[in-house]
Amino acid sequence: MAKKTAGQTLQLGQPTPMPASPGEAVLDRVPNPHTDTNYVARFTAPEFTTLCPITGQPDFAHLVIDYVPGKHLVESKSLKLYLVSFRNEGSFHEDCTVAIGKRLFGLLKPKWLRIGGYWYPRGGIPIDVFWQAGKLPKDVWVPDQGVQPYRGRG
């Protein structure tokens, strides 16, 4: 039987097919058990894949998503399925990175969220994209995202 939270059925704990596109992907949220505490939750997707909207060739990125939760957390299985749904989607690096950040921010309504998209070179030029929203509480320590700039064979 599917697990439920606040009247909604979660994908967690049951077979769930991969969504055909980000628009069809369902992102689940669960209650934050520590709403009285400011802390950072981090998700890292080092093998994120999408398609070039012009050539249809695959593009690869290392995504890092940091957020300070409010009332809700993103459920990790649904986030993984959402991110995987981009592998058949044509999207520019900037559009893809910002769209993920905006969707998460709209769903979770966190105190603060940032996403770093560290993209591998396309046409010889790496493109890194950063987006954030909300206000970082003063008492929160946010570590560096830890992704080195692209250096090639350097």
Q: Which residues are catalytic?
A: 52, 59
Give the DSSP letter string of the chain: ---EETTEE-STTS--PPPSSTTTPPPPEEE-TTTTS---EEEEEEEEEEE-TTT--EEEEEEEEEEE-SSEEE-HHHHHHHHHGGGG-B--HHHHHHHHHHHHHHHH--SEEEEEEEEPPBTTB--EEEEEEE---TT-------PPPP-TT-
